[in-house]
């Protein structure tokens, strides 16, 4: 960096901080003889300005707070002639200025709105072609268009706007490293996403928007955890031979099945086992095999019967689909359908769309196969009334995917 460029870079940081520190809500309030920090929620943010000063001032405050960081970047590029990488720091300084304004004794907003304004900048940076003559890279745009309907589905189900961040941000962070490994913007983009994701999650917890306690984890957390841990079996499949994976799965399956047989024999003899109704065993499983044993049997059959990518997909659909449908159904379920809820079933389908994207990038499996498998999984879970869906989902969805693969000529 030559002296002139260094000078312009420092100027851009100052400009960014000054633009970020300007708070329309506070300034407009002062013009009206009101200190926005002394009325309403005493926060100079959009919501308090909206309710205390009026809608038009609230909209003005929101617009400026969101775009101040983006404006700072644009000025650094087109006015100070900085390159795109250096210009982002002007936007970052705008965020810091929003949080620590010098004329308010460094007590400002939370920086969320200003951080949101940087997201379009980073998406635009990923669009930029490496060679000027090449077309723009629209991968991130297409991905956002894919994710937004899924996020809107979860927002409708849960009535939580936070779902927009919880659904979109993790996938965008993953995509930045999958498609643009080594890109100089990755770390800053990821930090922005992590900050916004963390703030949204913190706000949801503080405001008790997602009530887990006493409703789900008290009875189901061990079973959920065990299912997630079985993903390591798939890692063994990749790291070692298929035979080694079979042996490991078979050992765990035999362990849980033998525990179930022992428990059922004790129950038949009238001896108390002390396990019914616990997190591992449901009270209605006293005379039958537990859901985890049935799941492990299905896991073993799925890995044995189907090609690697189909087996992996079917098992991932079962694990995450079941967790999503259970959590969403218990917490937000409002409309019954058979012995499930519409909200839980829709959440299962939304989860399939998210898992399908990850599986497509990791396994390089046909998206058409994944679409049919992703449709079959929630339908099987919904319609498995007299059968245990821990067994049926992976087997049926895997069969559907294999059949579609045959029709496409992928498997012969």
Show which of 74, 94, 124 is a domain's final residue: 124
**How far apart are alpha carbons 94 and 356 in whole angstroms?**
37
% of the chain at pLDDT higher than 70: 89
Residue 267 banded pLDDT, cuts 50, 70, 90? low
| Range 176-194 average pLDDT | 93
Q: What is the pLDDT of residue 277?
A: 47
Residues 164 and 76 in one domain: no
Q: What is the pLDDT of residue 68?
A: 93
Asked whether the predicted pLDDT for residue 3 surpasses 80, the reply is yes
At 281, give phi and psi (nearest 5°).
-120, 135
Average pLDDT, the chain: 85
Residue 239 banded pLDDT, cuts 50, 70, 90? confident
User: Is the residue at 381 inside a domain?
Assistant: yes
Residue 61 banded pLDDT, cuts 50, 70, 90? confident
| Range 50-66 average pLDDT | 81
Residues 113 and 12 in one domain: yes
For 237-255, the DSSP string reads: HHHS-HHHHHHHHHHHHHH
pLDDT digits (tens, 9 = 90+) for 103-118: 777 777 788 888 999 9
pLDDT digits (tens, 9 = 90+) for 344-366: 999 999 999 999 999 999 998 99
Residues 105 and 165 in one domain: no
Residues 266 and 395 in one domain: yes
| Range 269-297 average pLDDT | 66
Q: Show Cβ contacts of residue 113 under 8 Å, excluding neighbours closer than 6 positions.
A: 45, 46, 62, 65, 66, 98
Residues 132 and 175 in one domain: yes
Show which of 124, 157, 181 is a domain's final residue: 124
User: Is the residue at 412 inside a domain?
Assistant: no
| Range 249-268 average pLDDT | 81
Residues 120 and 132 in one domain: no
Residues 159 and 293 in one domain: no
Show which of 124, 144, 166 is a domain's final residue: 124
Between the alpha carbon of residue 144 and those of residues 13, 113, 135, 151, 374, the distances in Å are 30, 19, 19, 10, 20
Q: What is the pLDDT of residue 271?
A: 59
Structural domain that includes position 256: 217-407
Residues 221 and 352 in one domain: yes
Residues 248 and 375 in one domain: yes
| Range 186-209 average pLDDT | 89
Q: What is the pLDDT of residue 38?
A: 76
pTM of the model: 0.86
Residue 85 banded pLDDT, cuts 50, 70, 90? very high
Would you say 326 and 216 are in contact if contact means Cβ atoms under 8 Å apart? yes
| Range 139-154 average pLDDT | 95
Asked whether the predicted pLDDT for residue 201 surpasses 70, the reply is yes
Cα–Cα nearest to 318, from 212, 395, 218, 400: 395
Q: How many residues would you count in the chain?
A: 412
Asked whether the predicted pLDDT for residue 272 surpasses 60, the reply is no
Would you say 392 and 384 are in contact if contact means Cβ atoms under 8 Å apart? yes
Residue 281 pairs in a beta bridge with: 276
Six token digits for residue 297 = 């049997």
Number of structural domains (the chain) is 3
Residues 135 and 64 in one domain: no
Taken in order 365, 171, 315, 390, is the CA torsion positive or negative?
Answer: negative
22: left (phi over 0), alpha (psi -120 to 50) or beta: beta
Winning range, highest mean pLDDT, from 121-135, 231-245, 310-324: 310-324
Own/partner contacts of 156-160, CB < 8 Å, gap of 24 or more, are 157/328, 157/332, 157/343, 157/346, 157/347, 157/350, 158/210, 158/328, 158/331, 158/332, 158/343, 159/332, 160/204, 160/209, 160/210
Asked whether the predicted pLDDT for residue 180 surpasses 80, the reply is yes
pLDDT digits (tens, 9 = 90+) for 8-23: 999 999 999 999 988 8
% of the chain at pLDDT higher than 90: 45
Residue 45 banded pLDDT, cuts 50, 70, 90? low
Q: What is the pLDDT of residue 412?
A: 66
Would you say 216 and 327 are in contact if contact means Cβ atoms under 8 Å apart? yes
Would you say 184 and 85 are in contact if contact means Cβ atoms under 8 Å apart? yes
Residues 181 and 314 in one domain: no
Asked whether the predicted pLDDT for residue 215 surpasses 60, the reply is no
CA torsion 208-210-215-220 (nearest 10°) is -140
User: Is the residue at 96 inside a domain?
Assistant: yes
Residues 32 and 102 in one domain: yes
User: Is the residue at 343 inside a domain?
Assistant: yes
């Amino acid at each position: 960096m030559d002296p002139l460029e260094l000078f312009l870079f420092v100027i851009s940081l100052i400009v960014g901080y000054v633009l970020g520190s300007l708070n329309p809500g506070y300034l407009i309030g002062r013009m009206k003889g009101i200190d926005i920090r002394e009325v309403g929620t005493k926060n100079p943010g959009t919501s308090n300005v909206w309710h205390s000063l009026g809608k038009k001032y609230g909209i003005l405050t929101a617009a400026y707070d969101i775009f101040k960081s983006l404006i700072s970047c644009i000025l650094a590029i087109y006015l100070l002639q900085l390159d795109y990488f250096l210009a982002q720091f002007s936007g970052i300084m705008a965020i810091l200025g929003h949080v620590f304004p010098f004329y308010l004794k460094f007590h400002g907003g939370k920086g969320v709105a200003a951080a949101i304004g940087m997201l379009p900048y980073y998406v635009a940076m990923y669009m930029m072609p490496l060679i000027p003559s090449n077309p723009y890279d629209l991968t991130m745009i297409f991905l956002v268009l894919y994710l937004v309907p899924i996020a809107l589905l979860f927002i409708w189900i849960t009535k939580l706007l936070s779902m927009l961040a919880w659904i979109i941000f993790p996938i965008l962070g993953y995509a930045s490293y999958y498609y643009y490994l080594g890109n100089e913007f990755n770390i800053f983009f990821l930090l922005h996403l992590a900050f916004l994701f963390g703030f949204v999650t913190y706000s949801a917890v503080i405001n008790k928007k997602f009530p887990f306690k006493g409703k789900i984890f008290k009875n189901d957390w061990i079973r959920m955890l065990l299912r997630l841990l079985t993903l390591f079996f798939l890692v063994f499949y990749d790291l070692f031979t298929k035979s080694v994976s079979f042996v490991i799965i078979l050992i765990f399956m035999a362990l849980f099945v033998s525990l179930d047989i022992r428990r059922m024999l004790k129950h038949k003899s009238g001896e108390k086992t002390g396990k019914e109704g616990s997190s591992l065993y449901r009270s209605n499983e006293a005379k039958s095999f537990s859901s985890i044993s049935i799941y492990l049997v299905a896991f073993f059959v799925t890995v044995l019967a189907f090609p690697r990518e189909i087996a992996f997909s079917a098992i991932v659909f079962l694990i995450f689909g079941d967790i999503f449908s259970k959590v969403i159904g218990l917490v937000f379920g409002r409309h019954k359908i058979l012995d499930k809820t519409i909200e839980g079933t829709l959440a299962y389908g939304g989860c399939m769309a998210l898992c399908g994207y990850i599986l497509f990038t990791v396994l390089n499996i046909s998206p058409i196969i994944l679409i049919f498998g992703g449709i079959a999984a929630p339908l099987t879970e919904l319609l498995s009334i007299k059968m245990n869906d821990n067994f049926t989902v992976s087997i049926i969805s895997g069969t559907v995917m294999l059949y579609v693969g045959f029709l496409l000529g992928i498997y012969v």
